């Protein structure tokens, strides 16, 4: 089993948040890694019963704020719905997945987590009027 450090970064490379994701197989598809990351962040949010979600993608009917997505206190998120939304966001360049110094181009790509124990997610924000 492998452990990776999941890190959210700005486009300039500044770390916003990071945490270990444990119990992973040593080889995994990028898609499954994204889904497991989302499952973990949704589980943490649901357990905390907070009103601000700082996940990879915006939940349905959530308000975007400076520090996350306001979803309302007590609302429970569905991790599978969030994971599907994250995979769709990857396909439309909503975020970039970096393993070490390389970018993952395809969610079906197989990843060796022993060789790349640090994973960075960089959310991309479309330019207004661009």
Give residue 127's pLDDT. 61
Q: Determine the Cα–Cα distance for residues 95 and 109; give it in Å rounded to an integer.
A: 16
Main-chain dihedrals φ then ψ at residue 37, nearest 5 degrees:
-60, -45
Instruction: For the chain, list the domains and their CATH numbers.
Output: 2-123 (3.10.20)
Q: Determine the Cα–Cα distance for residues 44 and 49; give it in Å rounded to an integer.
A: 9
Q: What is the pLDDT of residues 87-112, one digit of tens each?
A: 999 999 999 999 988 999 999 999 99
pTM value?
0.92
Q: What is the pLDDT of residues 3-36, one digit of tens each?
A: 999 999 988 889 999 999 999 999 999 999 999 9
User: What is the average pLDDT across 55-74?
Assistant: 89
Average pLDDT, the chain: 92
């Amino acid at each position: 089993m492998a452990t990776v450090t999941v890190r959210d970064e700005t486009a300039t490379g500044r770390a916003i948040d990071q945490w270990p994701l444990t119990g992973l197989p040593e080889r995994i598809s990028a898609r499954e890694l994204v889904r497991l990351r989302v499952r973990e962040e949704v589980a943490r949010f649901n357990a905390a019963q907070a009103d601000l979600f700082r996940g990879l993608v915006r939940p349905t009917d959530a308000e975007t704020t400076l520090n996350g997505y306001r979803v309302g206190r007590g609302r429970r998120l569905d991790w599978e719905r969030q994971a599907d939304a994250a995979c769709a966001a990857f396909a439309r360049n909503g975020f970039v997945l970096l393993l070490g110094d390389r970018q993952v181009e395809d969610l079906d790509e197989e990843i060796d987590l022993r060789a790349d124990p640090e994973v960075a997610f960089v959310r991309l924000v479309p330019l207004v009027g661009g």
